[in-house]
Chain A
Amino acid sequence: MFSALANPARFMAFSRWAAPILGVIAAGLIGAGLWLGLNAPPDYQQGETVKIMFIHVPAAWVAMLAYACLGGASFVSLVFRHALADAAAKAVAPLGAAFTGVALVTGSLWGRPMWGAWWVWGDARLVSVLVLFLLFLGYMALRASIEDEAKGARAAEILALVGLINLPIIKYSVEWWNTLHQGESIMRAGGPALAPVYLTPLLLVGAGYCAAFGALWLERIRAEVWRRRATSLALRAALA
Protein backbone atom coordinates (compact mmCIF):
# COMPACT_ATOMS: atom_id res chain seq x y z
CA MET A 1 0.00 0.00 0.00
CA PHE A 2 2.75 2.45 0.98
CA SER A 3 4.76 1.76 -2.17
CA ALA A 4 1.60 2.33 -4.26
CA LEU A 5 0.97 5.66 -2.49
CA ALA A 6 4.58 6.73 -3.01
CA ASN A 7 3.53 7.80 -6.50
CA PRO A 8 2.33 11.43 -6.13
CA ALA A 9 -0.50 11.04 -8.69
CA ARG A 10 -1.83 7.94 -6.93
CA PHE A 11 -1.43 9.63 -3.55
CA MET A 12 -3.43 12.67 -4.72
CA ALA A 13 -6.20 10.42 -6.06
CA PHE A 14 -6.31 8.40 -2.82
CA SER A 15 -6.12 11.35 -0.42
CA ARG A 16 -8.84 13.24 -2.31
CA TRP A 17 -11.49 10.92 -0.87
CA ALA A 18 -9.60 9.52 2.15
CA ALA A 19 -9.10 12.90 3.89
CA PRO A 20 -12.80 13.89 4.06
CA ILE A 21 -13.86 10.36 5.04
CA LEU A 22 -11.34 10.36 7.91
CA GLY A 23 -12.60 13.80 8.91
CA VAL A 24 -16.20 12.56 9.16
CA ILE A 25 -15.10 9.46 11.12
CA ALA A 26 -13.10 11.72 13.46
CA ALA A 27 -16.09 13.99 14.13
CA GLY A 28 -18.31 11.00 14.92
CA LEU A 29 -15.82 9.30 17.24
CA ILE A 30 -14.85 12.48 19.10
CA GLY A 31 -18.51 13.52 19.46
CA ALA A 32 -19.56 10.10 20.82
CA GLY A 33 -16.53 9.83 23.09
CA LEU A 34 -16.95 13.30 24.58
CA TRP A 35 -20.68 12.74 25.12
CA LEU A 36 -19.95 9.54 27.09
CA GLY A 37 -17.00 11.15 28.86
CA LEU A 38 -18.89 14.24 29.97
CA ASN A 39 -21.69 11.98 31.26
CA ALA A 40 -19.26 9.79 33.23
CA PRO A 41 -19.48 10.03 37.04
CA PRO A 42 -16.81 11.98 38.95
CA ASP A 43 -13.73 9.91 39.80
CA TYR A 44 -13.44 8.93 43.48
CA GLN A 45 -10.00 10.58 43.72
CA GLN A 46 -9.90 13.23 41.00
CA GLY A 47 -13.54 14.29 41.05
CA GLU A 48 -14.80 16.16 37.97
CA THR A 49 -11.25 16.90 36.75
CA VAL A 50 -11.29 13.41 35.21
CA LYS A 51 -13.13 15.15 32.33
CA ILE A 52 -9.81 16.72 31.31
CA MET A 53 -8.40 13.22 30.75
CA PHE A 54 -10.63 12.72 27.67
CA ILE A 55 -8.90 15.58 25.83
CA HIS A 56 -5.45 15.58 27.43
CA VAL A 57 -4.47 11.91 27.00
CA PRO A 58 -5.53 11.59 23.31
CA ALA A 59 -3.64 14.83 22.49
CA ALA A 60 -0.51 13.36 24.11
CA TRP A 61 -0.96 10.06 22.21
CA VAL A 62 -1.29 11.86 18.86
CA ALA A 63 1.66 14.13 19.68
CA MET A 64 3.85 11.02 19.99
CA LEU A 65 2.27 9.42 16.92
CA ALA A 66 2.98 12.60 14.95
CA TYR A 67 6.63 12.52 15.97
CA ALA A 68 6.91 8.85 15.00
CA CYS A 69 5.45 9.81 11.59
CA LEU A 70 7.91 12.71 11.33
CA GLY A 71 10.80 10.34 12.10
CA GLY A 72 9.56 7.68 9.66
CA ALA A 73 8.98 10.15 6.82
CA SER A 74 12.36 11.81 7.48
CA PHE A 75 14.09 8.42 7.34
CA VAL A 76 12.45 7.51 4.01
CA SER A 77 13.25 10.95 2.61
CA LEU A 78 16.89 10.83 3.71
CA VAL A 79 17.58 7.24 2.64
CA PHE A 80 15.48 6.98 -0.53
CA ARG A 81 15.41 10.70 -1.46
CA HIS A 82 11.67 10.47 -1.91
CA ALA A 83 9.99 13.83 -2.53
CA LEU A 84 6.59 12.75 -1.18
CA ALA A 85 8.17 11.52 2.07
CA ASP A 86 9.83 14.92 2.44
CA ALA A 87 6.47 16.62 1.84
CA ALA A 88 4.90 14.30 4.47
CA ALA A 89 7.61 15.18 7.00
CA LYS A 90 7.19 18.91 6.39
CA ALA A 91 3.39 18.62 6.61
CA VAL A 92 3.26 16.72 9.89
CA ALA A 93 5.46 19.03 12.00
CA PRO A 94 2.92 21.87 12.59
CA LEU A 95 0.22 19.31 13.48
CA GLY A 96 2.57 17.60 15.93
CA ALA A 97 3.45 20.93 17.51
CA ALA A 98 -0.25 21.81 17.88
CA PHE A 99 -1.19 18.47 19.48
CA THR A 100 1.84 18.66 21.82
CA GLY A 101 0.94 22.23 22.77
CA VAL A 102 -2.63 21.17 23.55
CA ALA A 103 -1.34 18.23 25.63
CA LEU A 104 1.00 20.52 27.60
CA VAL A 105 -1.63 23.19 28.33
CA THR A 106 -4.43 20.76 29.20
CA GLY A 107 -1.99 18.78 31.36
CA SER A 108 -1.06 21.95 33.20
CA LEU A 109 -4.75 22.77 33.74
CA TRP A 110 -5.24 19.25 35.13
CA GLY A 111 -2.08 19.36 37.26
CA ARG A 112 -2.94 22.60 39.08
CA PRO A 113 -5.98 21.26 40.99
CA MET A 114 -4.53 17.75 41.42
CA TRP A 115 -0.86 18.45 42.28
CA GLY A 116 -1.15 22.05 43.40
CA ALA A 117 1.27 23.16 40.65
CA TRP A 118 0.92 24.30 37.05
CA TRP A 119 4.33 22.90 36.14
CA VAL A 120 7.05 20.83 37.84
CA TRP A 121 10.52 21.15 36.29
CA GLY A 122 11.79 18.05 38.08
CA ASP A 123 9.13 15.81 36.50
CA ALA A 124 10.58 13.73 33.66
CA ARG A 125 7.24 13.18 31.85
CA LEU A 126 6.46 16.90 31.72
CA VAL A 127 9.96 17.93 30.68
CA SER A 128 10.29 15.18 28.02
CA VAL A 129 6.98 16.27 26.45
CA LEU A 130 8.21 19.88 26.49
CA VAL A 131 11.34 18.63 24.67
CA LEU A 132 9.03 16.98 22.11
CA PHE A 133 7.31 20.35 21.56
CA LEU A 134 10.70 22.05 21.13
CA LEU A 135 11.78 19.34 18.66
CA PHE A 136 8.75 20.08 16.46
CA LEU A 137 9.46 23.82 16.64
CA GLY A 138 13.18 23.21 16.03
CA TYR A 139 12.41 21.07 12.96
CA MET A 140 10.24 23.84 11.45
CA ALA A 141 12.69 26.61 12.37
CA LEU A 142 15.67 24.75 10.93
CA ARG A 143 13.85 24.04 7.65
CA ALA A 144 12.79 27.65 7.34
CA SER A 145 16.17 29.11 8.27
CA ILE A 146 18.17 27.56 5.38
CA GLU A 147 17.56 29.25 2.04
CA ASP A 148 18.32 26.16 -0.07
CA GLU A 149 15.13 24.13 0.40
CA ALA A 150 16.81 20.75 -0.15
CA LYS A 151 19.62 21.49 2.31
CA GLY A 152 17.13 22.78 4.88
CA ALA A 153 15.08 19.60 4.50
CA ARG A 154 18.16 17.38 5.00
CA ALA A 155 19.28 19.26 8.13
CA ALA A 156 15.79 19.20 9.63
CA GLU A 157 15.35 15.50 8.84
CA ILE A 158 18.59 14.62 10.63
CA LEU A 159 17.32 16.58 13.65
CA ALA A 160 14.02 14.67 13.46
CA LEU A 161 15.84 11.32 13.44
CA VAL A 162 18.01 12.29 16.43
CA GLY A 163 14.88 13.40 18.27
CA LEU A 164 13.32 9.93 17.96
CA ILE A 165 15.29 8.97 21.08
CA ASN A 166 12.84 11.15 23.03
CA LEU A 167 9.85 8.87 22.31
CA PRO A 168 10.90 5.95 24.56
CA ILE A 169 12.00 8.50 27.17
CA ILE A 170 8.47 9.97 27.22
CA LYS A 171 6.87 6.51 27.31
CA TYR A 172 9.01 5.10 30.13
CA SER A 173 9.67 8.32 32.07
CA VAL A 174 6.96 7.42 34.59
CA GLU A 175 8.72 4.10 35.28
CA TRP A 176 12.36 5.19 35.18
CA TRP A 177 12.09 8.27 37.41
CA ASN A 178 10.06 9.52 40.36
CA THR A 179 7.19 11.56 39.01
CA LEU A 180 4.01 13.32 40.02
CA HIS A 181 2.47 12.14 36.75
CA GLN A 182 0.37 9.01 37.09
CA GLY A 183 1.90 5.78 35.82
CA GLU A 184 0.91 3.78 32.74
CA SER A 185 -2.78 2.94 33.07
CA ILE A 186 -3.83 1.68 29.60
CA MET A 187 -1.11 -0.42 27.92
CA ARG A 188 0.24 -2.26 30.95
CA ALA A 189 0.66 -5.84 32.09
CA GLY A 190 -2.59 -7.08 33.63
CA GLY A 191 -4.83 -4.90 31.46
CA PRO A 192 -6.02 -1.30 31.74
CA ALA A 193 -6.39 0.17 35.22
CA LEU A 194 -9.28 2.38 34.12
CA ALA A 195 -12.93 1.46 34.71
CA PRO A 196 -14.88 0.90 31.46
CA VAL A 197 -16.96 4.01 32.15
CA TYR A 198 -13.76 6.07 31.60
CA LEU A 199 -11.86 3.72 29.29
CA THR A 200 -14.55 3.53 26.56
CA PRO A 201 -14.87 7.30 26.01
CA LEU A 202 -11.10 7.72 26.26
CA LEU A 203 -10.51 5.13 23.52
CA LEU A 204 -13.27 6.63 21.35
CA VAL A 205 -11.81 10.13 21.60
CA GLY A 206 -8.31 8.68 21.10
CA ALA A 207 -9.40 6.94 17.88
CA GLY A 208 -11.16 10.15 16.80
CA TYR A 209 -8.02 12.24 17.39
CA CYS A 210 -6.00 9.71 15.33
CA ALA A 211 -8.54 9.94 12.48
CA ALA A 212 -8.52 13.75 12.66
CA PHE A 213 -4.73 13.73 12.58
CA GLY A 214 -4.81 11.44 9.54
CA ALA A 215 -7.29 13.68 7.71
CA LEU A 216 -5.34 16.86 8.45
CA TRP A 217 -2.00 15.28 7.57
CA LEU A 218 -3.28 14.02 4.20
CA GLU A 219 -4.71 17.46 3.39
CA ARG A 220 -1.46 19.21 4.37
CA ILE A 221 0.56 16.83 2.18
CA ARG A 222 -1.81 17.65 -0.70
CA ALA A 223 -1.21 21.37 -0.06
CA GLU A 224 2.56 20.80 -0.09
CA VAL A 225 2.34 18.86 -3.40
CA TRP A 226 0.36 21.76 -4.94
CA ARG A 227 2.87 24.26 -3.53
CA ARG A 228 5.75 22.41 -5.19
CA ARG A 229 3.84 22.13 -8.45
CA ALA A 230 3.08 25.88 -8.38
CA THR A 231 6.72 26.72 -7.58
CA SER A 232 7.97 24.54 -10.42
CA LEU A 233 5.44 25.99 -12.88
CA ALA A 234 6.34 29.55 -11.85
CA LEU A 235 10.02 28.78 -12.36
CA ARG A 236 9.35 27.25 -15.79
CA ALA A 237 7.30 30.32 -16.78
CA ALA A 238 10.08 32.63 -15.60
CA LEU A 239 12.70 30.77 -17.63
CA ALA A 240 10.56 30.61 -20.80
Chain B
Amino acid sequence: MIGQVLSAGKYAAYIWPAYAVSLAGFAWMIIDTLARARRWKRRADRLENEGER
Protein backbone atom coordinates (compact mmCIF):
# COMPACT_ATOMS: atom_id res chain seq x y z
CA MET B 1 0.00 0.00 0.00
CA ILE B 2 2.70 2.47 1.06
CA GLY B 3 4.88 1.32 -1.83
CA GLN B 4 2.03 1.98 -4.24
CA VAL B 5 1.52 5.48 -2.82
CA LEU B 6 5.22 6.26 -3.02
CA SER B 7 5.68 4.93 -6.55
CA ALA B 8 6.62 7.78 -8.86
CA GLY B 9 7.95 5.93 -11.91
CA LYS B 10 10.53 7.62 -14.10
CA TYR B 11 9.83 11.02 -12.50
CA ALA B 12 10.89 10.00 -8.98
CA ALA B 13 14.12 11.97 -9.37
CA TYR B 14 12.05 15.17 -9.58
CA ILE B 15 9.12 14.38 -7.29
CA TRP B 16 10.93 13.28 -4.11
CA PRO B 17 13.49 16.11 -4.12
CA ALA B 18 10.52 18.51 -4.39
CA TYR B 19 8.96 16.89 -1.30
CA ALA B 20 12.32 16.93 0.48
CA VAL B 21 12.74 20.67 -0.19
CA SER B 22 9.23 21.36 1.15
CA LEU B 23 9.93 19.28 4.25
CA ALA B 24 13.25 21.08 4.80
CA GLY B 25 11.52 24.44 4.41
CA PHE B 26 8.88 23.55 6.98
CA ALA B 27 11.48 22.08 9.34
CA TRP B 28 13.52 25.30 9.21
CA MET B 29 10.47 27.50 9.76
CA ILE B 30 9.24 25.45 12.73
CA ILE B 31 12.65 25.04 14.43
CA ASP B 32 13.70 28.68 13.90
CA THR B 33 10.33 30.03 15.07
CA LEU B 34 10.16 27.91 18.23
CA ALA B 35 13.83 28.51 19.11
CA ARG B 36 13.43 32.26 18.65
CA ALA B 37 10.27 32.38 20.77
CA ARG B 38 11.82 30.28 23.54
CA ARG B 39 15.06 32.32 23.59
CA TRP B 40 13.37 35.73 23.84
CA LYS B 41 10.72 34.60 26.33
CA ARG B 42 13.44 33.21 28.61
CA ARG B 43 15.47 36.41 28.34
CA ALA B 44 12.45 38.66 28.98
CA ASP B 45 11.39 36.56 31.99
CA ARG B 46 14.92 36.62 33.44
CA LEU B 47 15.21 40.40 33.09
CA GLU B 48 11.74 40.87 34.57
CA ASN B 49 12.66 38.72 37.59
CA GLU B 50 15.95 40.60 38.05
CA GLY B 51 14.05 43.90 37.91
CA GLU B 52 11.62 42.79 40.62
CA ARG B 53 14.42 41.86 43.02
A→B interface (CB under 8 Å): 35, 38-39, 42, 47-49, 51-52, 55-56, 59, 94-95, 98-99, 101-102, 105-106, 109-110, 112-113, 212, 216, 219-220, 222-224, 226-227, 229-230, 233-234, 236-237
- 21 pairs from A and B in contact (CB 8 Å cutoff): A48-B10, A48-B12, A55-B19, A59-B22, A94-B29, A98-B28, A98-B29, A102-B22, A105-B21, A109-B18, A219-B33, A222-B41, A223-B36, A223-B40, A226-B44, A229-B48, A230-B40, A230-B44, A236-B51, A237-B47, A237-B50
Q: How far is the CB of A236 from chain B (nearest CB, A)?
A: 7
A222 x B50 contact (CB < 8 A): no
Which residues of chain A come closer than 8 Å to B44, judged between CB atoms? 226-227, 229-230, 233
Q: How far is the CB of A104 from chain B (nearest CB, A)?
A: 10
Q: How far is the CB of A32 from chain B (nearest CB, A)?
A: 13
B interface residues, tally (CB under 8 Å) = 34
Given contacts A48-B7, A94-B29, 10 further A-B contacts (CB under 8 A): A52-B15, A55-B19, A59-B25, A99-B25, A106-B18, A109-B14, A224-B40, A230-B44, A236-B51, A237-B51
Closest residue on chain A to residue B43 by CB atoms: A230
Describe B's contact surface by its main secondary structure. helix
Which residues of chain A come closer than 8 Å to B5, judged between CB atoms? 35, 38-39
B→A interface (CB under 8 Å): 5-12, 14-15, 17-19, 21-22, 25-26, 28-30, 32-34, 36-37, 39-41, 43-44, 47-48, 50-51
Q: How far is the CB of B2 from chain A (nearest CB, A)?
A: 10
Closest residue on chain A to residue B38 by CB atoms: A223
B25 x A233 contact (CB < 8 A): no
Q: How far is the CB of B49 from chain A (nearest CB, A)?
A: 10
Which residues of chain A come closer than 8 Å to B40, judged between CB atoms? 223-224, 226-227, 230
Q: Could you say which of A51, A98, A113 has the most chain B C-beta atoms within 10 Å of its C-beta?
A: A51
B37 x A219 contact (CB < 8 A): yes
A105 x B41 contact (CB < 8 A): no
A216 x B29 contact (CB < 8 A): yes
B47 x A234 contact (CB < 8 A): yes
Closest residue on chain B to residue A224 by CB atoms: B40
Closest residue on chain A to residue B37 by CB atoms: A223
Q: Which of A106, A220, A234 contacts B21 (CB 8 A)?
A: A106
Q: How far is the CB of A171 from chain B (nearest CB, A)?
A: 22
Closest residue on chain A to residue B34 by CB atoms: A219
